[in-house]
Amino acid sequence: MNNNSGKESSLVVSYLALRKALGVLGIALPFILYLGALIIFQTGLQSSISYYYHTGMRDVLVGTLVAIGIFLFSYKGYIGDAIYGKLACVFAIGVALFPCKPAGPVTNIVRTINNFHLFFTIAFFLTLIYFSYFLFTKSDQIELPKKKQQRNKVYKTCGILMTICVLGIVISFFLPSAMAWLGSPIFWFETGAILSFGVSWFTKGEAIAMLNDDWPSK
């Protein structure tokens, strides 16, 4: 094996590991926040994932979002796709740096910060939907292999589920009574969206053997 081939193989493995890491972070985040707050700080279920910023799990939430943002920044994909990774990075870190408002009366500055939080949150989820439904399903092959077709079904399903969850978040925000039966609807919709994001990236990182080609997928 020549040096160039070895380096290229190493880069592919590292890139797949990064995608798997994104998947793991996405899948694990809601559970870590909920269980950590409950077990360590005796804090119950919060109204949203973002609201864990106001619990003892603040550093975990912020650190995970920043880590996700940094990983997304390094996304390459096909020509022209890298910009979406950089945008997603900005949005993820924006969610972390502009927290949602706490309960009770707040100042105008806090309300403004909360408005930025809402913008970055929706923009982040919309970008992730675009990743799953449009970017991950790309291929440079005219006739798609069976495994690629199967992966595309996973990507599109994740994109659709994220879209449904984002719509649920919007409805819960503007018409809270419509989703009151869920208890903490925004938390559950955010969790659904983040889990779908995690599964999509886990698949892209070739962590599901039954969906993998013989060579690293695009």
The domains of the chain are located at 17-211
| pLDDT the model gives residue 15 | 74
CA–CA distance from 104 to each of 107, 110, 151, 154 (Å)? 10, 11, 45, 41
Output the DSSP codes for 109-176: HHHHHHHHHHHHHHHHHHHHHHIIIIITT--S-SS--HHHHHHHHHHHHHHHHHHHHHHHHHHHHH-G
Handedness of CA 90, 101, 176, 180 (dihedral sign): positive
> What pLDDT does residue 145 have?
92
Structure confidence at residue 68 (pLDDT): 96
Cα angle, residue 76 at apex, residues 23 and 205 outer, rounded to 5°: 30
pTM, rounded to two decimals: 0.89
List the chain residues with pLDDT less than 50: 1-3, 5-9, 11, 13, 217-218
Q: What is the pLDDT of residue 214?
A: 65
Q: DSSP letter for 205, please.
A: T
pLDDT at position 7 is 45
